[in-house]
Structure 1
């Protein structure tokens, strides 16, 4: 796997979108101050590939989302054996807390290879040949741990190797073997207990069950042979008992048949009420005929409305004539009153006119006083036209005052007589209008009454009509009374008839109850006679039915005795065959149940015999598996197999790291193990001198630990999957901060040597001198808007 491009946004320190171009970067450094986000770039690659971050729990992804944003997005382009791939993942916050990584895809050459988070992880594992744990140990090397591994005590080195090589799987295998041993032993014990439960399933028990089936089959056949006689006796006993019960019931019915009280009176009453209803209906018909006769008389007299109209017209003419006679003198009086009022008005008008003339003469005599009354201060004078400066004060002359008072008095006297004249005139007009209306109405009435009956004839005709109407009302009332009496008589007759019908129904019901015994025929017009004949017949028939019932009871008792004798014989045979017959249960059913139970028991014994053989075979298998699991657990004990594996792995690790160290140190150093399982360095520049690894300088220690890390990475990759792993890149994260300048030269040379072997080598460090010695470095800087990355080439 070689990285070609990394895009991330909202991922931890990288709040804004950042793109890192790895094209042509076979040997590079990721540099920057502590906390800037250098290791975050390695975390982003791991997240894009596997959906997890090495420094977090694999199920925890929410912390990778930058503060203040809702999602983090990573796109990682890489190649495997020259084939290009793209892995994209998005982690999004959830409203209830936590985060989701469902959105993910893996593409190659425009084809979507996987479309969800789990499928992308599985696809990456197939492409790289490495799982998450193997990738983080083989590609992102734990170089810092191998410095401790180089100098640690044997026990500490063994613990680290167990963890890195995942050799705890053998402890889990040992635990699984012990668990399987316990399961197998428990299963064997259960089989043993079940076999003890089946101890009764023997060939002897099977033979006894077969013999019992034979005996019970014979018993069943014997009972079946006796069945026809039992059935015949049962039928005979049942029929005789039924016949006895039927005869007894007939006797009880016949004995209970009695003539009801009042049957004769009921018949005569119904006949009397029928006659009365007929007579009442005839009377009603007579009254109806009288109504028809009265209606003919009334119809012959004609309608009353025209006569009433003539009567009203004659009455109105008499009234109008009387009003005319009385109104003419009143009109003459009102005309005289109007004439008198006119005379008084003319006299009063003459007096007013004289007073007015006298006042006018007085005003002429006293013109100056009159003019003074019209002057207004400041206004022009009507005579000279000059403004009036002040109105002169003068008293009115006596003659002028007298003339004015006379005029006022004459005018006051005029008003009452004028009012009286108006009243008289109105009264005269009203009287004239009233008489004109009366004369007009009289003319109208004369036109209506011309060539009609006189008032006396009208009154005579109206009296005849009134007498005919009264006669008709009386006739109709008589008819209604007769109809009511007829209905009441009919209701009484119908009620009596219904009682008679119910009585006949009672008779029919009583006769039907004994119809099976053949009662005699009766006349339907004589209820009392019918009852008497039926009662006499029932007494004789009841005695005959009692004799029949006694005879049938005797026959039923004889059949029952014979039936019980046969049943007792069969019960004795059932007891001999150990068949229990419960009370009320037929012997045949008990024998059939016992035979079925015997067959079930025989089949159960056969099944249990087969089950016992199967359990013996199964128990042998459980015992064998328990023994194998016990032996495997003993072989996998920590002081045996695991220790051997650790010794072998440590020896192979030392051999492989020695080869790598000689390459990185230009042939000067190699590694070996002493008898106490401690690392020693062979200095080929000093006559192959052996000395402890603790004597190495800082740069030499880095080379030795790096050799161990690379060797273990190759070993882990070989163990990861069946397919060949693609280890085309390695990343070294930190571990260089304590090196002096001379050691840094050694480390730089070693890293350049790693890059020359065809691998992409990435170095994560905050040591600027080391980063600047590599051909490409990526400067990671932290700013207010998040971290940024700049590619710098030397």
Structure 2
């Protein structure tokens, strides 16, 4: 990386625009950056860092340094532009931070966003071409080209001597932090962290498995009772699985022995329980027979006590059977008596409804009066028809009046509607004509809309193709540049191959055979291949790459030409009008066309409405003519109805008599005829029932005498109803059944024999059976508990065995990960120096840095001092990051913290330069052609200063330029190329001295 030019505007202490020409300063190889304190020397370096990374060095940024100069004018924007060459490419980076500026209109301020430009110099075209204006893209491009982060750049290119002086005196932890930032060893720390996390994770899983195994062991202990003692080991301790399996085996063997004992006890209890049950059954049977005999004796005594009641029931049953022959006559007499009572009551009710003149009449007289009322009712039928016709006439007259009112209203409505017909027809004609005009306008607008939409589509295509064309142009230019470079590379390789073709031909020479070029058979000094020789394969690969690049260039140029043609066509159709204006015009035409369509769509509706109105006009005229005809016919009908109504009213006045209507007169005659007829029937029924009652009394007296009863009343008293007969028969049957049962029981031999034996002791037998049953339940429960214990122990043992088998791979993984994690963390016994993985990597880098720094330190110290790396531990810290200095004068090795001020300076400078070389190689070998060294030269004497400057001046051998930032006056005499920074009240300025 080589810096060419730096332009600064309104940045830090620089209020105006300043330019630093690094090409002129670097021509001398060594240049001095000096100025008074606070003038802005370090701000020049900050500007370089800001241009590359968009931020100033971290230490200064942490102090709150503002980018914008306080001396800058309000209208001047802060800007930094850096021109540099990196990785063979000439680039220009321009950055503008966010800017709070005054508004162009009105008062107040507004904030402009940050801006970034990246350009590359095209040597063939002799001009700059834009690459990107994206912050992210520019940042990624610069970081990829440099191969260093901002922190590494600030440490390698802007060498801060104070940091390395502290590095020399720091402990291993501080050195590890600095080296970790520079060499980015976070991945190794991440490996340590991942291993530790994986160790904790697997350890937690192993502990969870062991905890579950211990939980199963405690469950086994609960199932086994006191027959098992769980292992006294914690989760994670070795030997836990074997201890659990051993304890489980002992518990299972003990449980099976207990099950065998419980089974024997259960068999004995079952035998005893069977004997006790058999004895209880025998005792119960004896007690039952003895109780049966006692109950039979008691039942026989009760039968003897109720013998008189049984004989009385037999006598009553016999009289009831005799009275059953009199029952039909009794029923007949009761029925006749009830019928006669009902007929007499009905006669009394009927006579109460008769008129006073007929209250004592007989059945014949009442029947004659009923016939006379019926004859008069038949004479009223003609009057009823006349009354119904009169009602119809009244309804017809009401209909005629209602029709007349309706026709009158219809005529008035028709007259009113017809009066406004001419004006309504004229309005509809106007609407039709307006809609027809609008339809013509809609056709014209449709044509205009299609044209506007075509222009809008072409404009959008134009804008889209413009961007694509520009992108295609850039791609075509890039392809052309790539093709030129590929061609140049191929020609260069071809030239190199031609230059070394002699060596390629010499490779096929054989002593005694003629040369293909000169024909000689002796080859005393054949050409040899030199380093970097190009063979035929390399040339052909370069030629193939050149041809591919040419094909891509031709394809990109063809695509660019196609897009340009399409863009020209779209521009010709759309013109230069912007899309927004064309879209607005198209939208306006669309709205006008929609409005014209809506108005034109009313044409059909208006025509239909006119046709409907004309039909309504014809209908109204016809309705008026029909109403006039109906009015003339109604007058004749009304006169006919009036004449017929007068004749019917006269006829009905005669037929009604004193009643209001013929119906009321007919209802009155109907009620009279019904009353008379009902009374005649009731009188005849009463007379007939009296005759039947007298006949029934004679028959009842004769039947009672034949059955042996003195009077019919005695026969009725002896007669039993169904319920009494059934109850009496039930009592007689129960007596006989009980008597037979008692005789049968007393006749049983077993019952009699049981009664002669001593009384059965049922309570003692029951107590013995209950005790046997209780012992059986206890033995069965003990046997079941022992079986459950065996099953549970078997299940838990199998579960524990499965858990141990599943946990074995995890435990092996944990052991392996734990060993790796301890080794990487430096806590393993195998790690003799207790070095962490990151420290080990950093130690290797520090060893490289010490070797690179020693080369320059030997020259600076006149061969006295050498930096060496040490793996020894410092105090209680980790080993691997020790740094010692070897003093050749004393032959002793000592810590770098014992160096004096001047010695510390050139040791730290050598360390910084060595670190720059190592970090550069680590970053991918990016060449650093410009370095800056900040302060520290004031602590050197003249001789040491000369030696240091000689070392710095020797960097020119590698085509490097070194800028020294210092206040030391003596350096102004020794270094002719100078960049002086001066400060004034209006801001700092820069001036270059000793350069052309």
Which TM-score tier does this pair reach, normalised by the shorter chain? Answer: 0.3 to 0.5
Q: TM-score, normalised by structure 1?
A: 0.42
Q: TM-score, normalised by structure 2?
A: 0.34
Decide which structure has the larger Cα Rg and report it: 1
